[in-house]
Amino acid sequence: MSFDVPDDCRYLESHEWVRLEDGAARIGVSDFAQDELGDVVFVELPAAGDELSRDEDFGVVESIKAVSDVYAPISGTVTAVNEALENEPELLNEDPYGEGWLVEVEPADEDELDELLSPEAYRDQIE
């Protein structure tokens, strides 16, 4: 099985992605991760204004069979939360890099992005 690993994202070993768009960093979980989790039924996320610290857990994604913490690829302040996931958590399965994103943050230090896995390195990890 091959999983979608977009070239415009960077990745954490724990399967979160981050994409920089107009200075804001959008964060989600990878196609591989959503497949491993199975049917997502519940997502718990921080609130706008909360601070995320790199590599620390900031929320929970639950599927029918498992509970998973999600980790912050970069540090920053939450500027937006994907509220659609509250009623449609399955968006995370259906469109993990699009409609199923988790939060947007204002990065504390954009240089942190350079320390994340490149798409190539992440593809190697999940192969």
Partner 1 sequence: MSRETPLHAAHDAAGATFTDFGGWDMPVEFDSIRTEHAAVREACGRFDVSHMGEVVISGADAERLTQRLTTNDATALDPGEAHYAAATREDGVMLDDTVVYRLPEATDGEFLLVPNAGHDEEAVDRWEEYADEQGFDVSVDNRTAEYGLIALQGPDAPDLLADETDLDVDDMGRFEVTEGTVAGVDALVATTGYTGEAGFELFVPWNETGAVWDAFDVQRCGLGARDTLRLEMGFLLSGQDFDPEDEPRTPYEAGIDFVVKLDTEFVGRDALEQQYEEGPDEELVGLELIDRGVPREGYEVTTPDGEHLGHVTSGTMSPTLGDPIALAYLPSEYTSPDEIVRVVVRGEPKKARTSVPPFLNR
Cβ proximity of 81 and 48 under 8 Å? yes
DSSP 34-70: HHHH-SEEEEE---TT-EE-TTSEEEEEEESS-EEEE
Q: At its nearest, how many Å lie between partner 1 and the CB of residue 54?
A: 22
- Give the residues across from 107 on adjacent strands: 76
Count of residues near partner 1 by CB under 8 A? 13
Q: At its nearest, how many Å lie between partner 1 and the CB of residue 38?
A: 6
* One of 2, 65, 83, 111 touching partner 1 (CB under 8 A): 65
* One of 41, 80, 84, 108 touching partner 1 (CB under 8 A): 41
What's the token pair of residue 22? Answer: 């107009």
What's the token pair of residue 48? Answer: 């706008």
* One of 1, 23, 83, 111 touching partner 1 (CB under 8 A): 1
Q: How crowded is the C-beta side of 78, counted as CA atoms within 13 Å?
A: 18
Q: At its nearest, how many Å lie between partner 1 and the CB of residue 113?
A: 30
Compose the 19-38 pattern: x for residues touching partner 1 by CB under 8 A, - for all others: -------------------x
127 binds partner 1 (CB under 8 A): no
Q: Measured between alpha carbons, how far is 91 from 52 in angstroms, rounded to an integer?
A: 23
* One of 8, 13, 56, 64 touching partner 1 (CB under 8 A): 64
